[in-house]
Amino acid sequence: MIPELGHFALVLALLLAAAQAVLGLAGGARGRAELLRATGPAVAGQFIFVLVAFAALVVSFVNGDFSVEYVAANSNASLPLFYRITATWGGHEGSLLLWALCLAGWSLAVALCSRRLEPEFRARVLGLLGIIAVGFLLFLLTTSNPFARLWPAAADGRDLNPLLQDFALAIHPPLLYLGYVGFAVAFAFACAALLAGRLDAQWAKWTRPWTLAAWICLTLGIALGSWWAYYELGWGGWWFWDPVENASLMPWLAGTALIHSLAVTEKRGLFVNWTLLLAVAAFSLSLLGTFLVRSGVLISVHAFATDPARGLFILGFLAVVIGGALGLFAWRAPRAAAGGGFAVTSRESFLLFNNALLVVALALVLLGTLYPLFLDALELGKISVGPPYFEAVFLVPMLPLVLLLGLGMHAGWKRGGLAGNGPRLAWLGGAALLVAAVIAAAVYGGIRPLATLGLALGLWVMASALLVLLARRLSGARLPATIVGMSIAHFGLGLTTLGIAGVEAFQVERDTALAAGEGAELAGYEFRLIGLRHGLRGPNYVATEAEVAVMDGDRRLATLRPQKRVYDSGGNPMTEAGIAVGAARDLFAALGEDLGGGRWSLRLQYKPLIRGIWLGALLMALGGLIAAADRRYRREAGEGAR
Amino acid sequence: MKRIILLSLPIALFVVLVVFFYSGLQRDPSVIPSPLIGKPAPAFTLESLADPRAQVGSLDFRGRPYLLNVWATWCGGCYQEHAVLLSIARENRLPLVGLNWRDERGKAQRWLEELGNPYAAVAFDGDGRAAIDWGVYGAPETFLVSAAGVVLHKHIGPMTAEAWQRDFVPRLGQAEP
Amino acid sequence: MTPRHRRMVGVAAILAGVGAAALLARLAFEENLLYFFSPSQIAAGEAPVERKFRVGGLVTPGSVQRDPGSLTVRFVVTDNRHSIPVRYSGVLPDLFKEGKGVVANGRLDGQGGFVAEEVLAKHDENYMPPEVADSMHPPQPGGGGG
Same structural domain for residues C4 and C52? no
C100:B128 CB<8 A: yes
pLDDT of residue A295: 59
Average pLDDT, rounded, for chain C = 76
Q: Is the pLDDT of residue B114 over 80?
A: yes
Mean pLDDT in residue range B85-104: 89
Find the domain containing C19 and state its range. 1-33
Of B28, B110, B116, the CB nearest to A305: B28
- Looking at the structure of chain C, the number of domains it has is 2
Q: Are residues C29 and C44 in the same domain?
A: no
Do residue C128 and residue C96 come from a single domain?
A: yes
Exposure string over A322-358, b if 16+ CB within 10 A, otherwise e: bbebbbbbbebbeebeebebbbebbbbbbbbbbbbbb
- What is the structure's pLDDT at A359? 92
Whether C97 and A571 lie within 8 Å, measured CB to CB = no
Residues C11 and C73 occupy one common structural domain: no
Query: Is the same domain home to C25 and C41?
Result: no
Q: Return the bridge partners of A558, or none.
A: A550
Chain C within 8 Å of A305 (Cβ-Cβ)? no
Neighbours of A413 (CB within 10 A): 15
C106 bridge partner residues: C53, C116
C93 domain-assigned: yes
User: Which of B13, B78, B127, B154 is the best substitution to test chain C (most C C-beta atoms within 10 A)?
Assistant: B127
* Tens digits of residue pLDDT in A300-331: 433 444 466 777 788 889 899 999 999 999 99
Does residue C46 lie in a domain region?
yes
Name the interface residues of C facing B (CB cutoff 8 Å): 58, 61, 80, 98-100, 125-128, 133, 136-139, 141, 144-146
Q: What residues in C contact A573, CB-CB < 8 Å? A: 94
Cβ <8 Å between C28 and A571: no
- Over pLDDT 70: what percentage of chain A? 93
User: DSSP readout, A196-216?
Assistant: HT--SHHHHHHHHHHHHHHHH
Q: Has residue A169 got a pLDDT over 80?
A: no
Whether residue C45 lies within 8 A of chain A, CB to CB, comes out as no
Residue C145 lies in a domain: no
Taking a contact as any Cβ pair under 8 Å apart, which residues of chain A between 170 and 229 contact chain C? none
Closest residue to C146, CB basis, from B75, B77, B132: B132
C-beta atoms of B133 and C145 within 8 A: yes
Q: Nearest-CA residue of chain C relative to B6?
A: C11
CB atoms B156 and A154 under 8 Å: no
Put simply, whether A573 touches C (Cβ < 8 Å) is yes
Query: Is the pLDDT confidence value at A299 over 60?
Result: no
Is B40 in contact with C146 (Cβ distance < 8 A)? no
Give me the residue spans of the domains in chain B.
34-175
Residues near A417 by beta carbon (within 8 Å), at least 6 away in sequence: A343, A345, A411
With a threshold of 0.95, does the pTM exceed it? no
CB contact under 8 A, C21 and A363: yes
Tell me A319's DSSP state: I
pLDDT category of residue A231 using cuts at 50, 70 and 90: confident
C8 in A contact zone (CB under 8 Å): no
Residues of C within 8 A of A342 (CB-CB) are: 1, 6
ipTM confidence: 0.77
**What's the whole-number mean pLDDT along residues A397-412?**
93
Residues C29 and C40 in one domain: no
- Chains in touch with A (3+ beta-carbon pairs under 8 Å) read B, C
**Amino acid at site A151:** W
CATH number for C59 = 2.40.50.140
What topology does CATH give the domain B34-175?
Glutaredoxin (3.40.30)
Cβ distance of A389 and C28 shorter than 8 Å = yes
Mean pLDDT of C33-59: 83
Shared domain check, C106 and C40: yes
Q: Both C19 and C44 in a single domain?
A: no
Q: Work out whether strand A383-385 and strand C53-59 pair parallel, antiparallel, or are unpaired.
A: unpaired
**Are both C25 and C40 inside the same structural domain?**
no
Handedness of CA B167, B173, B174, B175 (dihedral sign): positive
Give the closest of B8, B15, B21 to A315, CB-based. B21
